[in-house]
Amino acid sequence: MFCYQCEQTARGSGCTAHGVCGKDPQTAALQDLLVQQTKQIGALAHAARRLGAKDPALDRFILDALFTTVTNVNFDPQRLQTLLVASAAIKKQAQTLYEKACRAKGQTPAISAEMLGAPLAKDLAGLVKQGLAAGIPQRQETWGTDIAGLQELLVSGLKGMASYAHHALILGQEDDEVYAFFHEALDALLTDPHPTLEGLLQLCLRCGAINLRVMQLLDAAHTGAYGHPEPTAVRIHPLKGKAILISGHDLKDLEELLKQTVGTGIKVYTHGEMLPAHGYPELRKYKHLAGNYGGAWQDQQIEFSDFPGAILMTTNCIQKPKKNYLDRIFTCGLVAWPG
């Protein structure tokens, strides 16, 4: 394996035996293959879009697939295999959309079968083998470390942007301009036969600019659903009684948890990046949103061991659970850990 997408990466250069985050080589290979599949879907969506054809299912799958491969989101090979099977169906759907658009315009499809890759293997071992061939070292060997580095910088930017866009979409906010850039960037990563430093740098800068639009969408989603956040005092000492701890970034998941625990006597505590939820009026109105427990996500193995109740992980930030809380930690959405 080779992964250097997070700042904690081993020796500051890359994880090669096992991820600092807990990712094993099998999971890393499956994630690399999912990114490769997403590039192919994006290229087809971009080509179809240029001919006037769109499909929201492609847009939304791209968000989920890229977000899945962000650090500390999905460590489960079985879940990744399921996503890869889905990606094959989505890619076929994208290819059909593109070819139909070509026929309507009297054009011959320009995306070759070679660009779309071989069919996915039928078993997990075969998928891992295909993923190993889609890793960063292969691109470094082909393009050199500078070109490959900028390509991966763009991929990392797209992954982060996908996570924000995913959260905004859950609350009903999206923008076709954002999807168009995802398609364009993924297409460039797959089909450009002569990538240049300047061309990739410009794509990276545009990714940053488009991400500002995505942040606007996310802000509109949060404030539209939960009101404008206000400075709020947050309890950091526990109250007596049963409790659930929720960590991550997904305010919609928190809202659903609060709704489902109204009148049960269960207190809900936030953890890590969920702390800002207390500032939103429509979340703060739930009286059993009792406070915040613990500190940053990287301390969870110590803090979760001491928490006496159930723990819910939303979005990214999960680490390998310790045995003393393995039977009371749960995940939702795209987050996954084996078992």
Within 10 angstroms of residue 298's Cβ, the number of other Cβ atoms is: 13
The DSSP secondary-structure symbol of 322 reads P
The pLDDT of 42-66, averaged and rounded, is 98
307: tokens are 């928490």
User: pLDDT tens across 230-268, in order?
Assistant: 999 999 999 999 999 999 999 999 999 999 999 999 999
What is the mean pLDDT of the segment spanning 185-205? 97
pLDDT exceeds 90 at position 22: no
pLDDT over threshold 90, residue 123: yes
Helices (H), the chain: 25-50, 56-68, 77-105, 113-116, 124-132, 136-143, 145-170, 176-191, 197-226, 251-260, 281-284, 300-306
Provide the edge-to-edge strand list for the sheet that holds 243-247. Answer: 289-292, 267-271, 243-247, 310-313, 329-331
pTM exceeds 0.75, yes or no: yes
Residue 281's nearest CA partner among 232, 243, 247 is 232
pLDDT at 80 over 90: yes
Residue 297: pLDDT band with limits 50, 70, 90: confident
Report the candidate in 203, 332, 229, 234 with the shortest Cα–Cα distance to residue 281.
229
- Token pair 């080589």 in the structure block, residue: 25
Domains and CATH numbers, the chain: 10-224 (1.20.1270.20), 243-331 (3.40.50.2030)
